[in-house]
Structure 1
Amino acid sequence: MDILGKVNKVPGGIMVVPMIITAVVNTFIPAALKIGGPTSGAFSGAGAMATIGMLLFTAGSQTKYSDLGSVCARGGLLVIVRLAVAFTGAWLTLKLFGPEGVWGASALAITIALASCNPGVYAGLMQSYGDTVDKSAMGILNLIAVPATPLVILGVADGTGFDYMSAVSSLVPFALGMVLANADEKVRKLFSTATPVILFFLGCCLGASINLKALSQAGVANIVLIGLIVCIFLPIMIAADKLILRRPGYAAVAATCLGGLSVVAPRIIGERLPQYQPYVESATAQLAVTLVICIFIFPYITKFIVGKFGSGIAPKAEQ
């Protein structure tokens, strides 16, 4: 029974398939993931941050000092473009439509949708299509995968500012892995095959935060959010990747997928910025639906771009 072969036929399957299975379990029998102990630690949201930390360490261990410039260039460009588009989108929405937004999608929901990236999905897709530099760029993308990013974009005042410790906490495991592996090549070799295993468990952890019943709540606001992400934001990201970095664009697609923390961001922002409190509940529901849709469609969009423009790996190894 070739289970792994079938899994690998799905774009980013080593992470996406476990994520879908866990999402189904969380939707219909969520108690199964909450029995505690190692089961909850490995197959629920409780282990997500620890798993991301391991993935960052592993990505760092495969990064040579000579690759740092390329890693910062690729990852840095994607981060800069994301932030620029998110700032522009938030500013235009507030200026033209106010906090209530357009067609039910509030400025809060729109800003989070444009600012929140998904390093986990990115890492899973780069395992299938990316080269070493693409995989290492996850460490850069993780810096903005926090609710503090849309919080800052929406105009944080009174000293709220950017959560610098979130950035530091993301860099530490990546830097530690890089330093150890560059000091001892055997460390790099030890962790060279660890990424697929970690991605499997990361998929399980991320899926445990997804409720597929949210899809039944989809409405016009979700069409607005998906339209902004796929029809406006995504082409800008691909254009930047292809025109500036002269890359095929697959990494830009993977880096555009909505992040899992987007679902908790509205409540955090509402607590810090009271003017957005009336929109917290609706934004949370809209982003939950948008997250599920993005997680399903972005692997296939990435695969399409790879088929059209190529990937970072040898053709015989492509999924």
Structure 2
Amino acid sequence: MIMRFLKKIPAGMMVVPMLLGAIINTFLPEVTNIGSFTTAVFTSAGANTAIGIQLFCLGTTLRVRDMGGVVKRGGVLLISKFVIGAAIGIVVGKVFGPTGVLGLSSLAIISAVTNSNGSIYLALMNSYGDTVDQAAMPLLAINDGPMLTMIAMGIGGLADIPFMALVAAIGPILVGMILGNIDKDLSDFLAPAGTILLPFVGFCLGAGMNLTNIAKGGAQGILLGLVTCLIGGAFIVLCDRFISRRPGYAGWAVATTAGNAVAVPAVIAEADPSWAQWADVATSQVAASAILTAILVPIITSWWAKKFGCPKFPKDEAQKALFEKH
């Protein structure tokens, strides 16, 4: 009964536990903060570990022979999301200064738009994509965190970011990929764990969210979520369709704000203290965007995949043959 319910909801295996975790963290945080294994598994304390293990297991699915397709599809999604987020943020910063426009600073915009929720992407690709789409998730994980935000703000001259602060934690992906290519049996053993961990990752990420942040983020936080999803998503879909020659469902699937992005404004402010006075407001706005896009993106992706086709739901025989070929 539970599984049937989760399968009816776009990315339900990820989104439902995430919302449950957010509800508990908002109204009854003491339930999961009793310590020991309970706190380790059912709070945000376990998020990085769960995501790291998930990325390691997914890394084992990356084959050298498939890297061309993975890099092409994932690269287009990664670069287009970075470009649109950086472009909007840099323009706002250059034209309106650090205070931004309509209550949104360039710090908030770049933090939200350049960071995607890889776990939601993976859940959606399990429902609508193919193995190459799924294998692109570790590549997309590059934008999950402060690295690309730092790069964008550094390139735009909006912040002074030390080079070493740009180093991303991609160790689990690389180690998994190396081991998976050395021993396919090891890959076959570990690969399913990437999917199995989805509800755990979802709950842990949700346990780091507070639904009141939508209120704290105010109208600006909602606006930021809409910019991330609709403006950022539309640009990524165009790139996915015209560069990758894909239907565009994967483009919508990355039009989220990562849960980890909530911590990005503070990281930027620590690296460049001149942003400290805007960090708190940006944090609440990014949190609102993370929650809003986690709800909107699965709905939009599901509708788009069924209307314009995807490997799991080809719209005609010609498209089905094309998907089977690639």
TM-score (norm 1): 0.91
Partner of 1:284: 283
Partner of 1:163: 165
Structure-2 separation of matches of 1:259 and 1:51: 15
Partner of 2:319: none
Does structure 1 residue 215 correspond to structure 2 residue 217? no
Structure-2 separation of matches of 1:192 and 1:154: 36
Q: 2:80·2:239 contact (CA, 8 Å) conserved in 1?
A: yes
Q: Provide structure 1 residue ranges, at least 5 long, that are not aligned to the other structure.
A: none
Can you list the C-alpha shifts for 1:164-191, whole angstroms capped at 9, x where unaligned? 532xx32x32233333333333223323
Partner of 2:229: 230
Structure-1 separation of matches of 2:22 and 2:161: 38
Does structure 1 residue 5 correspond to structure 2 residue 21? no
Structure-1 separation of matches of 2:56 and 2:110: 30
1:1-319 correspondence to structure 2 within 5 Å: 2-155=1-154, 160-161=162-163, 163-166=165-168, 169-170=169-170, 172-313=171-312
Partner of 2:322: none
Structure-2 separation of matches of 1:98 and 1:310: 42
Q: Secondary structure at the match of 1:311?
A: coil
Q: 2:112·2:257 contact (CA, 8 Å) conserved in 1?
A: yes
Stretch deviating more after TM superposition (23-32 or 214-223): 214-223
Structure-2 separation of matches of 1:206 and 1:283: 19
Structure 2 residue identity aligned to 1:116 = N
Structure-2 separation of matches of 1:110 and 1:23: 23
Q: Secondary structure at the match of 2:163?
A: coil
Q: Could you say if the C-alpha distance between residues 84 and 315 of structure 1 is closer, same or farther in structure 2, counting changes exceeding 3 Å?
A: closer
Structure-2 separation of matches of 1:159 and 1:262: 17
Structure-1 separation of matches of 2:264 and 2:183: 40
Q: 2:99·2:105 contact (CA, 8 Å) conserved in 1?
A: yes
Can you list the C-alpha shifts for 1:139-170, whole angstroms capped at 9, x where unaligned? 1111121113212322276661363532xx32
Structure-1 separation of matches of 2:190 and 2:234: 35
Q: 1:63·1:132 contact (CA, 8 Å) conserved in 2?
A: no
How far residue 73 of structure 1 moved from its aligned partner, in angstroms, is: 0.9
How far residue 12 of structure 1 moved from its aligned partner, in angstroms, is: 0.9
Percent identity, aligned pairs only, is: 36
**Aligned residue pair count:** 312
Q: Provide structure 2 residue ranges, at least 5 long, that are not aligned to the other structure.
A: 316-326
How far residue 110 of structure 1 moved from its aligned partner, in angstroms, is: 1.4
How far residue 301 of structure 1 moved from its aligned partner, in angstroms, is: 1.0
Q: 1:148·1:162 contact (CA, 8 Å) conserved in 2?
A: no
Structure 2 residue identity aligned to 1:165 = V
Q: 1:152·1:162 contact (CA, 8 Å) conserved in 2?
A: no
Structure 2 residue identity aligned to 1:196 = T
Structure-1 separation of matches of 2:222 and 2:121: 23
Structure-2 separation of matches of 1:204 and 1:142: 18
Q: 1:221·1:286 contact (CA, 8 Å) conserved in 2?
A: yes
Taking only aligned residues, the RMSD between alpha carbons, in angstroms, comes to 2.0
Moved segments of 4+, more than 4 Å: 156-159
Q: 1:11·1:303 contact (CA, 8 Å) conserved in 2?
A: yes
Q: Could you say if the C-alpha distance between residues 230 and 90 of structure 1 is closer, same or farther in structure 2, counting changes exceeding 3 Å?
A: same
How far residue 312 of structure 1 moved from its aligned partner, in angstroms, is: 2.9
Structure-2 separation of matches of 1:292 and 1:314: 27
Q: 1:263·1:288 contact (CA, 8 Å) conserved in 2?
A: yes
Structure-1 separation of matches of 2:223 and 2:313: 37
Structure-1 separation of matches of 2:108 and 2:27: 27
Q: Could you say if the C-alpha distance between residues 238 and 59 of structure 1 is closer, same or farther in structure 2, counting changes exceeding 3 Å?
A: same
Q: Could you say if the C-alpha distance between residues 152 and 63 of structure 1 is closer, same or farther in structure 2, counting changes exceeding 3 Å?
A: closer
Q: Secondary structure at the match of 1:123?
A: helix
Q: 2:22·2:210 contact (CA, 8 Å) conserved in 1?
A: yes
Structure 2 residue identity aligned to 1:277 = A
How far residue 137 of structure 1 moved from its aligned partner, in angstroms, is: 0.8
Q: Could you say if the C-alpha distance between residues 313 and 57 of structure 1 is closer, same or farther in structure 2, counting changes exceeding 3 Å?
A: farther
